[in-house]
A and B are shown apart, each in its own frame.
Chain A
């Protein structure tokens, strides 16, 4: 998604992982971790 913001023309594209995000069910969380699924914060600006 970071790349898409960049390609759309946005500048100052920044991201950071959302601390503390997790799924309620352990099985879902385990699968998410296996695929590198995470919640991120993203900011960007239109020039």
Chain B
């Protein structure tokens, strides 16, 4: 399977800033106005579609569930163990971090990274409401603000496809993982080369 990942730019391009702005705007809107209809499924409807346990969705704060905008269920294969340190790359409103926190327990640690500092604050508040602790750091997935070999597992849900520099993102995941560390992600890929009109349309990147 091929996708845009194999053709990513090595360095930021002017278009990247425009697209990041559009992506931030779109996901902020999902968080602020989850009652709206978007062209992707979101909220509880999406989470149930991807097999999230109903018990999780009942226990998690309503705001975290309503703003869920993932594309799959990284928990199905994450095999999280008590005491592990988890990175939730692109943690958004925090639903996946909260679920990860329940799995690693009080001896574990959940670290979120999100480009939007407002979303980080929201995710941490949601995690606190759920009775857990999540530390969210505002930063780019191309420069993950964590030390080398510091996490056991990386989870991510519908985020890496939003990067122009996927090669660098994957390299960052490798860098922050401890030896033997694992990745469990859900994301969007394309089997065909997308046209320039699609690749250069900020609104479609935020789709």
Q: What residues of chain A have their CB less than 8 Å away from a CB belonging to chain B? A: 1-5, 7-10, 15, 18, 20-25, 28, 35-47
Contacts of A46 in B (CB 8 A): 174, 177-183
Contact B189 A38 (CB under 8 A): yes
Beta-carbon contacts of B53-81 to A below 8 Å, as 1s and 0s? Answer: 00000000000000000011110110000
Contacts of B73 in A (CB 8 A): 18, 41
Interface size on B, residues (CB 8 A): 46
Number of residue pairs A-B, CB distance < 8 angstroms:
117
Contact A1:B189 (CB < 8 A) given known A10-B183, A24-B39, A45-B183 = yes
Is residue B144 within 8 Å, beta carbon to beta carbon, of the partner chain?
A: no
- Closest 10 A/B residue pairs (Cβ): A36-B191, A18-B72, A39-B71, A1-B5, A46-B177, A25-B39, A4-B170, A44-B183, A8-B174, A8-B170
* Bound Cα distance from A39 to B71, whole angstroms: 6
Contact A21 B50 (CB under 8 A): yes
Contacts of A4 in B (CB 8 A): 5-6, 166-167, 170
Is residue B121 within 8 Å, beta carbon to beta carbon, of the partner chain?
A: no
Contact B71 A5 (CB under 8 A): no
Shortest distance between the CB of B22 and any CB in chain A (Å): 16
